Structure 1
């Protein structure tokens, strides 16, 4: 409790000094949102922390940054408080603590554990020899029945969806806005446009995010685009495959020119490029602008995304070979681990940030009315 109180006080002190200075008010949405407040409650600070995109520009521009005695470091204090909000809003909280303390290890162990369970299930169903044969003809369901796959992953997906919704409800409820505040169509249009274009990663004057030695680059925004749209295309592949199966009665395996294959291929490529780039940028960033304690959680999410793309593409390329069975089990294990960790790792920041961007648009529109 003392730790979070000290972090709240540190962030409040930073915002109080920034509110008096206002040199950085044009850098990002955090500072105009800050200026609309005379005092900062813990709830306000968590909202501002999730509105922050950690571009780093304000740290290098600040005259009160370390070694100044005021030691103002907005990106780092926001990053720490943002991680605290992930833990506070997570549901159920026990799983959040598990992945928070051992992010990378827990994620990889979960992937291995799920893979082993799938191997056991296949072994009990028809024997592990089915994994190393070409008699399946590229048909995934020859190894794992379609209904079993749907029930297994459908159940996990419903739990993940519930956990994400519960986290978002907690975030919004704590903001003090209430359900009525979610009904502003104009604010939603603005928030969705800003979110899907990653507008706030462009930086001041469209120069991009700031890196050590005040170097500007657009690559963080580009790698986020590869990652986000790669994930969405992979999800679209699953959705179109489901429509093919249940609506049209077209069963897998599908031709390479089919929508599920095209979406899956493009999505897999995006998940190879985006997470790898984000990991590189994370390794070369200035540690003074980040929360070092959050590194394990961040790397775990990046690793699972990259492995999802890699194993998915490998599965597609090897589906007609004897390696298809093993690759299918490994891919499903990685995807299941990714799904289960989503509500407790870096994935949730996209949902909280969307709500924060929406609230910012709502406040702007109210001020202009």
Structure 2
């Protein structure tokens, strides 16, 4: 649906919901909606990113299809979120990646694999891929340390820049001054709700996902992905500390902090991403948006493959396949982080910003009620 028609449809459905208010206890969207009588483009962007796609409202709604009103809030919000990501990203010429997440992820990851393999063969020789490497510095005999760290650092800094620009644009568009971002109370409340996935509980019993029955499975699988990702980042950070400050080179012992954190995080990501892919496959398509579903699947597949290749690399690091596995794993990591700003991960930034705005609104309401 083109953007003008989507905004018009968003206003129509929100007006119906605002008159009904049956679903006000399900999530933050409906209390925020009730503070508005008309729904501007900025309002819809804010509400869409406040939605956690729990789908409780869809299955509870008396006006959902096949009713003539055709109210389908989860699908509407997903379509609006996709437009949000495209509109606020930087640079604008790359916004098209949100339309073709799966294709983009495949092409970029494939290109990363080809480039890495070519460079290793060119500068390190074929033998490094067929030889067993053991002891400290084994990985760097295949890919030098500088080549393994400098490009990822540049990619990460670029991604952070894209997210920062997008967050500032979103905040300004939805009517917030930058000074309000320094509201400690709102930041704490938003952080608590984000880390606890508060609104993925729906009305308390969980999401209606993958079908019309309450379940906490989606919430717990998200926890595995989120905290698994953080543990892997922690593993990388500890390994960097070991390398630069203690002069200890990878690979590290199985019971070392980098390996323990990375293994637990990798297993969490593997189970979480795999479980969410299964739920996506089983889910009801009526309350979903095709582009968002494609974005979800592309991101989850990359997460799953990155975790899988990382764990295989750990298990087989003292065998002759280590070199080849290292190349494949690094290509997966490159594909994941290059596409991170232009895929599903963008929801982390915009949803957190929406939660901060909601916390500010709620506190103002509570203050006014006293």
Aligned CA RMSD, in angstroms, stands at: 1.3
Question: Which residue of 291, 306, 322 corresponds with 1:293?
Answer: 291
1:316 is aligned to: 314
Give 1:135 shift: 4.0
Q: Which moved more, 1:110-119 or 1:352-361?
A: 110-119
CA distance in 2, matches of 1:211, 1:196: 20
Give 1:93 shift: 2.1
2:271 is aligned to: 273
Q: Mapping of 1:140-219 within 5 angstroms? A: 140-204=139-203, 206-211=204-209, 214-219=212-217
2:76 is aligned to: 77
Assess if the C-alpha contact under 8 Å between 2:274 and 2:304 holds in 1. yes
Three-state SS of the structure 2 residue aligned to 1:287 is coil
Q: Mapping of 1:78-117 within 5 angstroms? A: 78-97=77-96, 99-117=97-115
Contiguous gaps of at least 5 residues in structure 1: none
Give 1:233 shift: 0.7
Question: Which residue of 302, 306, 321 corresponds with 2:300?
Answer: 302
CA distance in 2, matches of 1:137, 1:241: 16
CA distance in 1, matches of 2:190, 2:133: 51
Give 1:152 shift: 1.4
CA distance in 2, matches of 1:312, 1:96: 30
CA distance in 1, matches of 2:124, 2:139: 14
Assess if the C-alpha contact under 8 Å between 1:119 and 1:128 holds in 2. no
- Alpha carbons of structure 1 residues 176 and 259: separation in structure 2 relative to 1, 3 Å: same
- Alpha carbons of structure 1 residues 245 and 40: separation in structure 2 relative to 1, 3 Å: same
User: Structure 1 length as normaliser, TM-score?
Assistant: 0.96
Give 1:159 shift: 1.0
Give 1:69 shift: 1.5
Assess if the C-alpha contact under 8 Å between 1:119 and 1:329 holds in 2. yes
Assess if the C-alpha contact under 8 Å between 2:211 and 2:283 holds in 1. no
Q: Mapping of 1:2-13 within 5 angstroms? A: 3-13=2-12
Assess if the C-alpha contact under 8 Å between 1:30 and 1:51 holds in 2. yes
CA distance in 2, matches of 1:102, 1:293: 8
Deviations 1:305-360 (A, max 9, x none): 00110000011111100000000000000000100101110001011101111110
Assess if the C-alpha contact under 8 Å between 1:240 and 1:260 holds in 2. yes
CA distance in 2, matches of 1:182, 1:272: 34
- Alpha carbons of structure 1 residues 212 and 223: separation in structure 2 relative to 1, 3 Å: closer
Assess if the C-alpha contact under 8 Å between 2:210 and 2:279 holds in 1. no
1:342 is aligned to: 340
State how many pairs are aligned.
366
2:30 is aligned to: 31
Give 1:211 shift: 3.5
Give 1:132 shift: 0.9
Three-state SS of the structure 2 residue aligned to 1:281 is helix
CA distance in 2, matches of 1:70, 1:337: 42
Q: Mapping of 1:10-25 within 5 angstroms? A: 10-25=9-24
